[in-house]
Chains A and B, each alone.
With several copies, the nearest count.
Chain A
Amino acid sequence: MTGEGLMLQDNAASPGDEWVTPASAPTADEALYLELDGWEGPLDLLLDLARRQKVDLRQISILALVDQYLGYIERAEALRLELAADYLVMAAWLAYLKSALLLPREEQEDPSPEELALRLQLRLQRLGAMRDAAARLMARDRLGRDVFVRAAPEGLRIDRKLKWTCDWFSLVQAYGQVKARTAPAIHMVRERPVMTLESALERVSSMLGVTLDWMRLEEFLPPHAEPRLRRSALASSFVAALELARLGKAELAHDDAFGPLRLRRVRA
């Protein structure tokens, strides 16, 4: 009963006549319409039956509708048509509703059968409204059927284009740096006052010979040297001290990190 979701490909119907419900087909013999596949469920069938009362849905007789529906189902069963369960459930419920509506008033349950009938009517109105709305929607001027857009539009495009920029100074500076980088460079070493390792070795070992006491490394440096010679002398004297220690001619003492380095002669 749910032939849903299928896209019908045939092109036979005219605009706005997208489908033909069994009950709305123009023939008088209801027996021909016992093909229930045409309805989208029992509510849909009820709606079709209600429409056949040819009155406003707000004024339909629920009792008459119930009789029509039950009659329908009976005939379908007599013809041994297979009925989906939800149609039978609806039939049972409608039979109950009918009996409740006809029963004497005293022992009415809640909700009352009148309420149930009214609710059914409201539902039918809503479904009817949507069915009409669908038909009117389908009958509109539809794109690709009634109105057309261009078959092969050129389309709009936005191309991103890079715009390069550079300034005069960057250009000139770049050239300067290329030239600077690749120009044959002449390296000149400036003359600097230095104390060579040889002279430091000589100086330290000769001064060590004078005493057996510990002496600080700085005491071995030339006393009035200019700063740059003094730095060189410090480095050379330090290496000389290490060398003398390695040769076993001196011993070094260094009490704490970054503290003064002391050395003295090893007794022969």
Chain B
Amino acid sequence: MSERPDELARAIEATLFATEAPLTLAVLAAHLGDADPAQVRAALAGLAGHYSGRGIEIVERGGRWHFQTAADCAHLLRREREQVRRLSRAATEVLAIVAYHEPVSRAEIESIRGVQTSGGTLDVLMEAGWVRVAGRREVPGRPVIYATTPEFLQHFGLESRRDLPGIDDLRAAGLLDPVDEAYEAMALQQPEVADEEE
């Protein structure tokens, strides 16, 4: 990013600065008078680079772009911050399960946690705007399935679900697979594994 940004970059800066909600590339391009999305994307990348390391940054969260303050400036801003939602432990765990397993049904959440999940927990997450109903699973009973929202990614500073901490390792270790699948896989690979226990 040079010191003298071009008109498109300036327009993007002004628009992202003024917007009330993060903007997708498509909405941003349309707002800029039907600019070429490829050019907008390139300009966004340039701007993100320019602001990187400054007190404010341009970031992408779930396909939506916005300005935010740098994380290490938080101590300055804390005194006037809004109250961040504090989640109960149950809600936190349920949120993690939804995020790492989505889309996921309530029964699947409960089977991981080994405890019934009260409807209130999912309600709290949905009210916070982090979890949404993502349809029904086409199995008997057609259970409702849940997934995370773009606001979830924004709130936790994730560009996409691929940025979920450790998700690749968890997947590689099979820890995102159901117990049944994992057990069968293990039983196939090493039939004697159960005996090692003793």
Contacts and interface: CB of A to CB of B under 8 A. Distances in A.
Contacts of A177: 93, 175
A150 B19 CA distance: 7
Interface range on chain B (Cβ under 8 Å from partner): 35 or more
B156 A168 contact: yes
A147 to B, nearest CB: 4
B42 interface: no
20 contacts: A5-B91, A19-B92, A115-B187, A118-B197, A125-B175, A130-B97, A132-B166, A143-B154, A144-B155, A147-B69, A153-B20, A161-B82, A166-B92, A174-B93, A177-B93, A178-B93, A179-B170, A179-B175, A182-B112, A230-B198
Q: Which of B79, B88, B121 has the most CB of A within 10 A?
A: B88
A114 to B, nearest CB: 3
Contacts, number: 320
A4 B91 contact: yes
Given A6-B88, A117-B197, A155-B77, A161 B165 contact: no
Interface of B: 14-15, 17-20, 31, 66-71, 74, 76-93, 95-97, 99-100, 112-118, 120-121, 123-125, 127-128, 130, 154-158, 164-167, 170, 173, 175-179, 181-183, 186-187, 193-195, 197-198
A268 interface: no
Interface in A42-100: 42-44, 62, 86
Given A141-B71, A147-B69, A183 B93 contact: no
A18 B66 contact: no
Contact of A165 (B76, B84, B121, B123): B84
A47 to B, nearest CB: 9
A148 B77 contact: yes
B114 A42 contact: yes
Interface string A137-177: 11011111111111111111111111111111011111111
A180 B177 contact: yes
B86 A165 contact: yes
Contact of B92 (A3, A171, A179): A171
Q: Which of A19, A179, A187 has the most CB of B within 10 A?
A: A179
A158 B81 contact: yes
B18 A179 contact: no
B128 A155 contact: no
A22 to B, nearest CB: 11
